[in-house]
């Protein structure tokens, strides 16, 4: 999956902000996909529809994951929290949304999970699988939830974090996970700072 998505992505771009050159660690696509066509219920706001789009002049950081994930999901959300802390006042211009790929188990607990990492974050979940697939597709996200013969639930999903602008365009994709290709919290913060200044 990672190779397939990487084939669609361009090399990191060199950009200039306030006289400082910063090469984005995250990957970009050309053209930038429009990702705000589907609104998902925001459990952090009583299920109100949430369009996957940043606030004006801000960024929306989006992650597709699940609360029972033992490693990659909590590590990624913790890195997002650290990156936001590093941004200082600029963090006020960044919103965070986590979309559950395991809504059957996550709907009752997703809001608490998201808030434990990013107070004020958006917990997005729906039991409408068609809507979830339609929301995930423009990002290039794949996921699968299966139940084994022993009743154990197994969830697999793409390991990426995304930045969306205020026009609903996917502007940067960051590889995340537990290996050497994962984007560090420092690099997330540097890229966010660059994007906010663009």
**Domain boundaries, given as residue ranges, for the chain:** 2-197
DSSP state of 184: P
pLDDT digits (tens, 9 = 90+) for 128-171: 999 999 999 999 999 999 999 999 999 999 999 999 999 999 99
- Rounded Cα–Cα distance for residues 171 and 139 (Å): 10
**What's the pTM?**
0.88
pLDDT digits (tens, 9 = 90+) for 62-95: 999 999 999 999 999 999 999 999 999 999 999 9
Residue 114 pLDDT? 98
pLDDT band at 21 (very low <50, low <70, confident <90, very high): low
CA 81 to chain centre: 12
For residue 192, what are the CA distances in angstroms to 142, 165, 173, 188? 24, 11, 11, 6
Residue 160 pLDDT? 97
CA dihedral in degrees (157, 162, 165, 170; nearest 10)? -60
* Other Cβ atoms within 10 Å of 48 Cβ, number: 11
Give the CATH number of domain 2-197; options: 3.40.50.360, 3.40.30.10, 3.40.50.720, 3.40.50.970: 3.40.30.10
User: Would you state the structure tokens that stand for residue 164, as one six-digit string?
Assistant: 């969306």
Q: Are 73 and 66 spatial neighbours (Cβ–Cβ below 8 Å)?
A: yes
Angle at which helices 72-87 and 110-117 pack, to 10 degrees? 40
Which residue intervals of the chain are DSSP H helices? 2-8, 72-87, 103-106, 110-117, 129-136, 185-197
């Amino acid at each position: 999956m990672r190779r397939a998505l990487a084939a669609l992505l361009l090399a990191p771009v060199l950009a200039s902000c306030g006289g400082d050159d910063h090469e984005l660690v995250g990957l970009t696509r050309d053209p930038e996909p429009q990702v705000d066509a589907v609104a998902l219920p925001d459990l952090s706001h009583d299920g109100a529809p949430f369009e996957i789009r940043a606030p004006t002049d801000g960024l929306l950081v989006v992650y597709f994951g699940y609360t029972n994930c033992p490693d990659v999901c909590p590590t990624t959300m913790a890195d997002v929290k650290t990156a936001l802390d590093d941004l200082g006042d600029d963090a006020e211009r960044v919103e965070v949304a986590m979309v559950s790929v395991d809504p059957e188990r996550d709907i009752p607990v997703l809001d608490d999970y998201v808030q434990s990492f990013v107070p004020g974050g958006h917990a997005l979940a729906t039991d409408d699988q068609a809507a979830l697939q339609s929301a995930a597709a423009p990002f290039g996200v794949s996921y699968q939830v299966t139940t084994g013969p022993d009743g154990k639930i197994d969830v697999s999903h793409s390991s990426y974090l995304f930045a969306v602008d205020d026009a609903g365009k996917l502007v940067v994709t960051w590889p995340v996970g537990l290996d050497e290709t994962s984007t560090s919290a420092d690099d997330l913060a540097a890229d966010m700072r660059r994007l906010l200044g663009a």
